[in-house]
Structure 1
């Protein structure tokens, strides 16, 4: 189980539960503040796109091909998880103890992932809990993080003895030092591409399980009989998930429901077109099996940045490595998008890995310059506090547990709650716009509110540790 611990103020746990401690500078006396801030920024982005994306679809997930703001959140998480792995494992003496810690942390991540996204929690809008085991969702954000963390951390542990002890001079020294890690990444990429383009996808059927739908209980057939397609109904990612997980255990409201082929209000959610294809009604798992295999690549790239942080001592040396690699990944991803492999978060295509990892590299480098070199820490304090207690903010805000608790106290009608009153009278009513009001509510009543709470807990030395 997760635990809330009060600890001395000088020692902090890593809030996205990948390691016991966040990164430190080479002298091991201070934290690298940019790691906390980047983690906090990612959690804040998740809250923003989840709670305001319905009113602002430009920041929500792209319905299929493409890359909106929300589509950077998951790769940013995996990237920062990767950066933390070498910084944490170097502090654990002995291979056996390291494996034990990695395995136990993976199990805790899986538990919380199933609890929060498996369907048991209905927060914040429904005042009920529990899930029909025939419909439980097996995959989710924390489950994907757990899988990527397990694979990459174990690779880091077992390949440690296969590498030289020192870094020689030269720009590619860190690449040479960890060449086995890149070989693992190449094998993962080959496996993913082989399955994505080589798997035969037959016709398939499904029954609409949404009781609020006019088509509830109706059986639809989707015609495929193809191989190597990347369209919504007939790709190998969805086929493997249907075969392994079962169609009832997948995400029931995929982003493709907002595509032009499905809804009259695209890119907003809305009623389906009369001539909408049958697959618009079907579930799809955006954190499924094959796409999670590809997602490991984002973590491997993050591990490389962690290795640079550990082995290279000078700011200019680190930034040269990070920025050049970030630009190279961005260029490669954009070229692939316009020539061979489109950007797609739900399939986690290789072009998507490159673009989002390159963006993560450049964003982190910018934060590193502003915070760890120019010492502009005060401006980023709210994000730093969130990053220090990221798991708490993720559960309470991004997953709506705190808002669900507040909604449990209402007057006469379940919609007469403090949350709805604040939204309506303080934000929407003042600005006379639901879109602007909801956006400001998310920024000030959620992100800033939880930043202050995290700051108070930080002053008390309290952190959620997994």
Structure 2
């Protein structure tokens, strides 16, 4: 199990460090295209990051709850962990460094990355400890197909639903009706309510990968490669009628991202478990405290953005005075700033790992 978990830690760590990179450029006005989300339909490397993390949440569930103990204590532990994740996410969205230290209630965003991780973890873990793998396949299929049918065939206030960013987009309409001003944007939220349904499927597909890695199957890397390729093909075929879209977390998006996740994890598994190569330690260190690193990077970034230095922020001052130079393109300077932040949290992950400090949320 040690090497298999090592493979997952490397993948998790690489994912979380990439998440830090795309979330902390020097300036959002100058970012290389692969480090930005797709405008709407389609996907970029950045759009893979969050679904990769949910995928690895599912894989970790398969490791952590493999004994499938079903009792009040198990449910309580799952619920407490989910609550902590949601609470941390709400705190990040509401915190201010100055009085009154929290935003006005009407300005607080309710959905968010950590909130979605918490909700998806809760339901996926509950499903995993109660259902066998065959029933989980049925559940996954129902979630993906059901979401597609809802998004394409259910009208919105008598108007045919659309997959464009519009008032008659069912997912967007529900978020506006339920959350009102508490969304990321006035008309939608990329971590919204209805799109959490297929996000659970992202984690469930990770569960199946975890079951393969903990099984007695031979040639596990080959099996994962086959799964990854199959998911990619199915996802791109589904894209024809249900476009790949991260903001809506469409079913085609779930399959495509799970496909890439399986392919990359298969490669890591092959190199570390089959060939016994030593590599990726820096990712393993970050992966061992992934949620902590994500939370700290988001919290510190918010604080640096709120500390004013003249007419700019501490973040802006550091970027302008250390990374901006006449001989560098602004996009390069912005990237270097992000890479320096990644280096900082990589070193933090290394220190925590070496001191055997593993903070579990």
Aligned position for 1:427: 323
Partners of 1:127 and 1:404 within 8 A in 2: no
* Alpha-carbon distance between aligned partners in 2 of 1:128 and 1:367, rounded to the nearest angstrom: 47
Deviation at 1:406, TM superposition (A): 5.4
**Unmatched tracts of structure 2, length 5 or more:** none
* Alpha-carbon distance between aligned partners in 2 of 1:456 and 1:86, rounded to the nearest angstrom: 28
* Alpha-carbon distance between aligned partners in 2 of 1:450 and 1:188, rounded to the nearest angstrom: 36
Query: Which of 237, 255, 260 does residue 335 from structure 1 map onto?
Result: 237
Q: In 2 relative to 1, CA 113–228 (structure 1 residues): closer, same or farther, beyond 3 Å? A: same
Partners of 1:127 and 1:407 within 8 A in 2: no
Aligned position for 1:187: 142
Aligned position for 1:137: 109
Query: What value does the CA root-mean-square deviation take over the aligned residues?
Result: 2.4
Aligned position for 1:228: 161
- Secondary structure of the residue aligned to 2:245 is coil
Deviation at 1:129, TM superposition (A): 3.8
- Map 1:3-22; keep pairs closer than 5 Å: none
Aligned position for 2:176: 242
Q: Which structure: larger Rg?
A: 1
Deviation at 1:31, TM superposition (A): 6.0
Q: In 2 relative to 1, CA 333–422 (structure 1 residues): closer, same or farther, beyond 3 Å? A: same
Residues 96-131 of structure 1: per-residue CA shift (max 9 Å, x gap)? 3221111111111110111113xx1358xx998412
Partners of 2:147 and 2:251 within 8 A in 1: no
Structure 1 residue 121 corresponds to structure 2 residue 95: yes
Partners of 1:89 and 1:98 within 8 A in 2: no
Aligned position for 1:66: 42
Aligned position for 1:207: none
**Unmatched tracts of structure 1, length 5 or more:** 1-23, 164-177, 203-224, 253-281
* Alpha-carbon distance between aligned partners in 1 of 2:355 and 2:326, rounded to the nearest angstrom: 36
Q: In 2 relative to 1, CA 404–107 (structure 1 residues): closer, same or farther, beyond 3 Å? A: closer
Taking structure 1 as the reference length, the TM-score comes to 0.71
Partners of 2:221 and 2:267 within 8 A in 1: no
Structure 1 residue 306 corresponds to structure 2 residue 210: yes
Query: Which of 109, 121, 129 does residue 149 from structure 1 map onto?
Result: 121
- Secondary structure of the residue aligned to 2:38 is coil
Q: In 2 relative to 1, CA 139–408 (structure 1 residues): closer, same or farther, beyond 3 Å? A: closer
Structure 1 residue 455 corresponds to structure 2 residue 359: no
Deviation at 1:391, TM superposition (A): 1.6
Q: In 2 relative to 1, CA 414–92 (structure 1 residues): closer, same or farther, beyond 3 Å? A: farther
* Alpha-carbon distance between aligned partners in 2 of 1:395 and 1:93, rounded to the nearest angstrom: 30
- Map 1:162-241; keep pairs closer than 5 Å: 163=132, 178-202=133-157, 226-233=159-166, 234-241=168-175
Query: Mean alpha-carbon deviation: is it higher for 190-199 or for 305-314?
Result: 190-199
